[in-house]
Each structure stands twice: as C-alpha cells, then as structure tokens.
C-alpha cells in the first residue's frame, strides 16, 4: 500500500495530502492509481488549482472566484449565523486576555496539531481568559460570546476571517483541512494580516478521535462553534452513514454547529431534487435546529446540542 500511496502522490496537486486520505481512496478504487487520482480530483480538485496555490489573488478575489465560495456573501452569512436570526450572540468585540492557563495540558494532541497549539501566535486559541459577558438581552441559545470557531474541512473559508471578526469581534478561529498546500496559503494570509488568533492545521476528518481531541482541548474557550460547510456530502461519498457518526462525536465536544449542503452541483447546471430527508430526520432527533435558511444554492442549518 505504501508504494501505491507514493505513486498517487507523485502528482504535485496530491503531494501534500495526508497518507490516510490517499489510502482511503485507494481502497475505494481497489488499488487503481488512476481511479484514486480521479476520486481525489473530485474531492479536492476545486481547491488544488494553480489560481489558489500559485496565483497572486488577494483574499476577496479568491472568495469571489473560487467555485466553493463564490456564491456566498460572507459578511451577510456570518451576521445571520451569529446575530438575532441565529445563535443570538451580542454583536460587540471581545476583550480577551492572552494569559495561558497552566492547567491546560496539550500533550495528548496529535504531534502535528500539538505544535500548532503550542505556538505563541495561538495563545488566544489554546487558553483564553474571558471576562464575564454582560448580556443586553436574552440569547436564543443561552450562550455567551462565541469563544472559538472550529472550521472542519475549511477549504478557503479562512480568507473570510476578516468578515467573521466584523460579525463577532476578536474571535478565535481554528481550521482543519487535508490539502497541505492550501493550509500553507491560508496561514500565510493570517500571518501577513497579523491575525494571531487564527490558524489552519492539516488533518483528516475521518480520524474522529483526533478531531474530538482537538475540540476537547479548546474547552477552555467555549462556546465552541463548529462549521461544517458542505462537508456532509463529502463524508457520505466516501463512507455511507459516516457523517452520522461524525456529527454525534462532534456534538459531544462543542456547543453549536453550523452545517451546510449544496442545493445544486458545483457547475450550477444540476439541481438536486432530494432535500436530504435522512439528514433532516437525524438532525431533528439529535440537535435543536435553531434556524435554517438558503443563501443562493446552499442550505444552512444552525444547530444547538441537545444536552
């Protein structure tokens, strides 16, 4: 299997994907290298283009041109998610202390993620001390200000971080993305813009235990809001019903989830007739669905845990 993985990764666009991701598609293609590459292009091809990896596009240009994000108005989207129509967080910047709590142990995290959490620039993420929030009105969720957004399968969403800050203030952001080249590009953007509270790390969402560990280590900055933008379909295409296991695992380690799925194909030519009744039935059984709305051809669901 190692030889087959190496063969698949000889293609530049796949060279920085985790071995576990490549191994999974090889199993799905029954060891056929060309078939595995075709599957990887289906899942990651829209992110691994020269425009994204090598181009000189700025953040807004990437969001406007990239097929996964071009239909979103992020400023409006984040306002709707976190405002009165969604979680109902009060709309003012957070005043945070960057002092690290000594009780926060990070040694059990995966090594590649542990080094990120230990970095000086991520002090706001690994251990924040928040002042008590003064609530001006009753929140729909009974939650205080958002502590950290954890964007699983984040893709190019990190380039919208400035709009996230506009919506909820000095918010912390942790993204998890499989494509190593994209991880580097987004982190360079954060560094160049001085966004010390934001970082993307490389990871495989099918490793549920690592995802749970990451969320658990961020408990001190809760409420933890998890973004899953167009992730469910990708998980389901690899393994039927895996998204249910994934959502149940994530639910135990966060306070809220924002999930989306596409109502049209990426090309926009095909309209998906099914409204994913299986997914809605599952969510209504296991979450409180606070709000649902459509933005262009994408359905968003704002979920609070049933605890």
Confidence of residue 11 (pLDDT cuts 50, 70, 90): confident
Residue 15: both structure tokens together: 């060279």
The pLDDT tens digits for 65-93 are 655 666 688 888 888 898 766 676 654 33
Which is it for strands 256-262 and 298-305: parallel, antiparallel or unpaired? antiparallel
Which residue blocks in 101-238 are alpha helix, DSSP H?
Answer: 111-118, 123-126, 161-168, 180-193, 208-217, 232-238
- For tokens 């280590």, what's the residue? 217
- What's the CA gap between 119 and 225, in Å, rounded? 22
Kindly list the domain boundaries of the chain, sorted by start residue. Answer: 1-45, 57-305
- What's the CA gap between 91 and 191, in Å, rounded? 26
- What's the CA gap between 297 and 5, in Å, rounded? 36
Confidence (pLDDT) at 155: 87
User: Strand, coil or helix: what is 227?
Assistant: strand
Q: Measured on CA atoms in the order 169, 175, 179, 185, is the torsion positive or negative? A: positive
Name 289's bridge partners. Answer: 303
The pLDDT tens digits for 181-209 are 889 989 999 999 999 999 999 999 999 99
Contact indicator for 19, 204 with CB cutoff of 8 Å? no
> For residue 13, is pLDDT > 70?
yes
Residues 6+ apart with CB under 8 A from 192: none
Q: What is the pTM of this model?
A: 0.76
Contact indicator for 113, 174 with CB cutoff of 8 Å? no
- What's the CA gap between 69 and 138, in Å, rounded? 33
Residue 298: both structure tokens together: 């994408």
The CATH label, of 3.40.50.720, 3.40.50.150, 3.30.310.80, 3.40.50.1100, for the domain at 57-305 is 3.40.50.150
Q: Please give the radius of gyration of the chain, using alpha carbons only, rounded to the nearest integer.
A: 19
> For residue 124, is pLDDT > 50?
no
Confidence (pLDDT) at 103: 32
Which is it for strands 298-305 and 198-202: parallel, antiparallel or unpaired? unpaired
Residue 126: both structure tokens together: 């690994």
- What's the CA gap between 183 and 186, in Å, rounded? 5
More confident residue, 104 or 64: 64
DSSP count for the chain of H helices, then E strands: 14, 7
């Amino acid at each position: 299997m190692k030889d087959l993985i190496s063969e698949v990764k000889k293609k530049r666009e796949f060279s920085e994907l985790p071995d576990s991701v490549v191994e999974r598609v090889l199993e799905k293609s029954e060891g056929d290298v060309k078939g595995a590459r075709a599957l990887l292009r289906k899942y990651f091809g829209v992110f691994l283009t020269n425009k994204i990896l090598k181009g000189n596009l700025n953040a807004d240009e990437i969001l406007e041109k990239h097929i996964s994000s071009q239909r979103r108005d992020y400023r409006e989207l984040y306002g709707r998610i976190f405002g009165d129509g969604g979680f109902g967080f009060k709309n003012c910047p957070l005043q945070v202390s960057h002092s690290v709590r000594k009780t926060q142990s990070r040694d059990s995290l995966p090594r590649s993620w542990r080094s990120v959490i230990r970095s000086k620039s991520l002090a706001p993420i690994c251990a924040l001390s928040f002042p008590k929030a003064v609530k001006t009105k009753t929140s729909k969720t009974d939650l205080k200000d958002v502590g950290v957004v954890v964007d699983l399968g984040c893709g190019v969403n990190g380039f919208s971080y400035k709009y996230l800050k506009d919506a909820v203030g000095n918010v912390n952001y942790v993204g998890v993305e499989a494509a190593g080249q994209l991880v580097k590009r987004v982190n360079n953007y954060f560094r160049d813009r001085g966004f010390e509270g934001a970082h993307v790390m490389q990871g495989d969402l099918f490793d549920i235990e690592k995802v749970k560990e990451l969320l658990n280590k961020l408990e001190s900055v809760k409420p933890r809001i998890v973004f899953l933008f167009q992730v469910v379909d990708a998980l389901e295409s690899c393994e039927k019903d895996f998204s249910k296991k994934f959502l149940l695992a994530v639910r135990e380690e966060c306070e809220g989830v924002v999930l989306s799925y596409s109502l049209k194909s990426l090309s926009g030519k095909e309209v998906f007739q099914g409204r994913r009744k299986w997914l809605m039935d599952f969510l209504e059984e296991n979450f409180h669905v606070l709000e649902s709305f459509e933005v262009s051809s994408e359905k968003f669901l704002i979920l609070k845990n049933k605890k």
